[in-house]
Amino acid sequence: MFKAIYLEKSESAGFTAGIRELDESELVANTGDADVDLDVEYSTINFKDGLAIANRSPVVRKWPMVPGIDGAGVVSASRHPGFAPGDRVVLNGWGVGETHWGCLAGKARLRGDWLVKLPDSIDTRSAAAIGTAGYTATLCVMMLERHGLKAGDGEVLVTGAAGGVGSVAIALLAANGYKVVASTGRPGEADYLKSLGAGEVIDRNTLSEAGKPLQKERWAGVVDTVGSHTLANACAQTRYRGVVAACGLAQGMDFPATVAPFILRGVKLIGVDSVMCPMEDRLVAWQRLASELDAGKLAAITTETDLAGALEAAPKILAGGIRGRLVVDVRR
């Protein structure tokens, strides 16, 4: 038996979310062709997990569901040639917690093709602390650089800066010599953001309302976690041939912009998908995290809770009330 957050939905009973003791036979019955058994040690609460647990968006497409799009732990059994018992691995995305039982649980059954072996320098708690948010932030930095951005080109804007993606993005960009400007709706977090490497902190309200199609050029690059008017204004303020990496929709899925920044300034808008990202880029991202993310800054970003705390955190992360990364020790 093992504990898990368990989501159910039916026409008669409606939606319920709670902690339940599950038998491993239930796990096997609900995980299809999974070929790696994992003793999960840590998971996290991401924005998508919050949506699933709070039933705020149609994230879950199969019921019942164990949420948790991130998981880090030790392989207990493997039918996959790439993994053996004792391997330390991390899981991010691949529809886990949406169509496949996830990692807010003591055990998981996953496909080996979804897993990354952890670098020696990253333990399972740190891997969960990084999680989808940190790995997505790294993909954003990789995309900015792949499309021409270099340290010294100018200021890089990070929106939603006090969240998980934003916090790691600031730390990575600063570690690589970029001049970072952090946008947040939480002015009380200014010292925290500067400790991660932001040179300046601005109020998100300067970006969150409707603006002109083209504005004064400022940003050489942008990591946007917010979408909607914030993304539109960031693009309108991006310098000639600058690069914008878009990875989130905390403000909204809409994009109330024009083509002006793209056809008059050559701005490049790059979408960053972490869920189905090819393994080649995943491996590069995790190696960069192992070598470039300062352990002290990761510790400053991270707080810890248990499964009960994860349930309570779901509405908080949706309201922007979680700073940095919230790690869930699923064994507690």
Residue 147 resides in a domain: yes
pLDDT above 90 (res 89): yes
Hey, which bits of 102-143 come out as E strands? 107-110, 115-117
pLDDT in tens, 280-311: 999 999 999 999 999 999 999 999 999 999 99
Pairwise CA distance, residues 221 & 242, whole Å:
6
Q: Per-residue confidence at 139, pLDDT binned at 50, 70, 90?
A: very high
Q: Per-residue confidence at 12, pLDDT binned at 50, 70, 90?
A: confident
| Whole-structure pTM value | 0.93
Q: What is the CATH number of the domain that holds 221?
A: 3.40.50.720
- pLDDT value at residue 199: 98
Residue 293 resides in a domain: no
Same domain, 256 and 136: yes
Same domain, 148 and 192: yes
- pLDDT value at residue 264: 98
- pLDDT value at residue 58: 86
Residue 127 resides in a domain: no
Same domain, 141 and 262: yes
Q: Residues 164-185: what's their mean pLDDT?
A: 97
pLDDT in tens, 233-285: 999 999 999 999 999 999 999 999 999 999 999 999 999 999 999 999 999 99
Same domain, 26 and 70: yes
Residue listed under structure tokens 């997990």: 49
Same domain, 104 and 202: no
- What's the burial of 84, exposed, middle or buried (CB within 10 Å: 0-12/13-18/19+)? exposed
Q: What is the CATH number of the domain that holds 93?
A: 3.90.180.10
Which domain covers residue 313, as residue numbers?
A: 2-118+299-329
Pairwise CA distance, residues 182 & 203, whole Å:
9
Same domain, 62 and 93: yes
Residue 125 resides in a domain: no
Same domain, 200 and 71: no
DSSP string, 217-252: --EEEEEESSBHHHHHHHHHTEEEEEEEEE---SSB
Same domain, 111 and 144: no
Same domain, 101 and 137: no
Half-sphere exposure of 4 (CA within 13 A, CB side): 27
Residue 163 resides in a domain: yes
More confident residue, 57 or 124: 124
- pLDDT value at residue 85: 98
Q: Per-residue confidence at 13, pLDDT binned at 50, 70, 90?
A: confident
Same domain, 111 and 26: yes
Same domain, 82 and 54: yes
Is residue 30 within 8 A of residue 8, CB to CB? The reply is no
102 contacts: CB under 8 Å, gap ≥ 6: 43, 65, 66, 67, 68, 69, 71, 96, 108
Amino acid at residue number 66: V
Residue 124 resides in a domain: no
Task: Look at the chain and report how many structural domains it folds into.
Answer: 2
pLDDT above 90 (res 170): yes
Using the 3D structure, point to which of 256, 271, 286 is the last residue of a domain: 271
Q: Exposure pattern of 308-322 as b/e (b: 16+ CB <10 Å)? A: eebbebbeebbebeb
- pLDDT value at residue 3: 97
Residue 283 resides in a domain: no
Cβ atoms < 10 Å from Cβ of 216: 8
Residue listed under structure tokens 């878009």: 246
Residue 29 resides in a domain: yes
Taking CB atoms within 8 Å and a gap of at least 24, the contacts of 56-61 are 56/318, 59/97, 59/98, 60/7, 60/9, 60/97, 60/98, 61/98, 61/99
pLDDT in tens, 26-65: 999 999 889 999 999 999 999 999 999 999 888 999 999 9
- CA triplet 255, 248, 305: central angle to 5 degrees? 150
Same domain, 142 and 237: yes
